[in-house]
Amino acid sequence: MEELIQHLAPLLKEVVGYIYPNEIELHWGLLVVVYPYVTGLVAGAFILASLVKVFNVTELQPTYRMSLLTALAFLLVAPLPLLAHLGHPEKSFEIFFTPNTRSAMAMFGFVYAWYLMAVLLLEIWFCYRKDLIQWAKQETGLRKFIHRTMSLFSSDVSERALRFDRKAVKAVTLIGIPSAFLLHGYVGFIFGSIKANPWWSSVLMPIVFLFSAIVSGIALVLLIYMIATPLRGKEMDMACLNKLASYLFYVMIIDFSLEILDFVHRVYESEESIEILAALVTGKLFISLIVVQLLLGMLVPLGAIAMAKLLQMPNDLKKMIYFVAALLVQVGIFSTRWNVVVGGQLFSKSFSGLTVYKTTFLGLEGLLVSMGLLVMPFLILYVLFALLPPWEESKASLEGS
């Protein structure tokens, strides 16, 4: 308690205008920024994977399994920031066992469980089943055991079984797309349904969340592909990169349009809250919203990808542009989450003042924990890549054997 008081006391001096006295403590901090960022990556990576299966985008085949594993790695981490942020994490099971069915947040447990069990794990299992069996046959010791266990001790690799696998993957993908929409759309709804907060309360919120999620997911898989491929000493598939960049570009255009629509709508309706929101955007959020989210995270990458598409240039230069653009997009989307979550709490609900948010380095809500949570999915991904190599050649070599 002492720590909190010491943290809050100096903030009082930085309040501009009038805020309700209970508002000096900003309740959803960095951890709640990390949460929608991470779930967004899950939904985005999965939707990218679905493009291959549902719409038969063959150029993206090299990233299919990679996207699935990325989605899984991030999904496993997704509930951790929420759990760490609860006042009583030991009671969190109540959200599953005695949920208030009228609460958007209470649905989290079910949406999450559905997405993990019924979608991701199922699709990955059907997708890898044949390979798991084949790998286990050639291996010894622990790896053999792990792969045997992962295949749930199935051994049927007859043409009929494989045909069923393929059908199942397709079916799960078809269920998976709306599920991914649900997963992240619902995160947007948690914010968008708070009528007390004009910065959040918008019917567009779930859709904006969804498209920014797809943007971040595609950019992430692009980055992982561009880092993992040279590390394995392989050549990048330029057609695949170009396709990824194109999809990234298209989805960013949609995302950008939605954000502009939201902006124009707010300014045009010009409701009671417009003055305080204008003060927020031009003041405390100027760097993170105008400079980082809009300029660096949206316009610069859009321009860069457009140039790479329109102009004749060597492949290496193109790769560099894609890489930098995808990196900027990540920073931009993280900033987007920050601007929604923290930005929505920087102004008073009395619409008469602005408050401040200061992160600490240590402590559960601190920078260190959040950075750890952002690194963790990559460690999980490393293990997943080792256990379930998503590379084309590890699949191809087996088919030959």
Partner 1 sequence: MNRAIPSVTDKSQQRRSFLKTLALSFAALIIPGIVVARDKLDNIKDWVVGDGYRPADHRWGMGLDISKCIGCGRCVDACKKENNVPLEPFFFRTWVERYRILSKGETLIDSPGGAIDSFRADAPEDTVLRSFFVPKLCNQCEHAPCVQVCPVGATFSTPDGVVLVDAEHCVGCRYCIQACPYGARFLHPETRTAEKCTFCYHRVTKGLAPACVEACPTQARVFGEVEKKASPLVRFLRMNKIAVLKPFLNTKPQVYYTGFDMEVR
> Which residues contribute to the site for partner 1 (CB under 8 A)?
1, 4-5, 8, 12, 17-25, 27-28, 82, 85-89, 91-92, 94-95, 98-100, 102-106, 108, 190, 194-197, 345, 348-353
Q: Cβ distance 188 to 210 under 8 Å? A: yes
Minimum distance from residue 6 beta carbon to partner 1 (Å): 10
Cα–Cα distance between 104 and 106 in angstroms, integer? 6
Percent of residues in the chain assigned helix, strand, coil, to nearest 5: 75, 0, 20
Sign (positive or negative) of CA dihedral 167, 78, 294, 264: positive
Minimum distance from residue 137 beta carbon to partner 1 (Å): 47
DSSP states of 368-398: HHHHHHHHHHHHHHHHHHHHS---HHHHHHH
Our CB check for partner 1 shows the closer of 100 and 257 to be: 100
Pairing of strands 16-17, 353-354: antiparallel
Our CB check for partner 1 shows the closer of 99 and 366 to be: 99
Minimum distance from residue 100 beta carbon to partner 1 (Å): 4
Minimum distance from residue 96 beta carbon to partner 1 (Å): 10
Our CB check for partner 1 shows the closer of 193 and 216 to be: 193
Q: Cβ distance 248 to 219 under 8 Å? A: yes
Minimum distance from residue 236 beta carbon to partner 1 (Å): 43
The SS3 call for residue 17 is strand
Our CB check for partner 1 shows the closer of 126 and 351 to be: 351
Cα–Cα distance between 357 and 21 in angstroms, integer? 15
Minimum distance from residue 11 beta carbon to partner 1 (Å): 9
Our CB check for partner 1 shows the closer of 20 and 263 to be: 20
Minimum distance from residue 25 beta carbon to partner 1 (Å): 6
Q: Is 363 left (phi over 0), alpha (psi -120 to 50) or beta?
A: left
Q: Distance between alpha carbon 234 and the CA centroid of its chain, in Å? A: 27
Q: Residue 354's beta-bridge partner residues?
A: 16, 347
Where helices occur in 56-97 by DSSP H, the ranges are 64-77, 79-85, 94-97
Our CB check for partner 1 shows the closer of 32 and 52 to be: 32
Closest by CA to 74, choosing from 35, 48, 38, is 38
Cα–Cα distance between 351 and 275 in angstroms, integer? 8
The DSSP code for 322 is: H
Our CB check for partner 1 shows the closer of 91 and 160 to be: 91
Our CB check for partner 1 shows the closer of 352 and 359 to be: 352
Minimum distance from residue 345 beta carbon to partner 1 (Å): 8
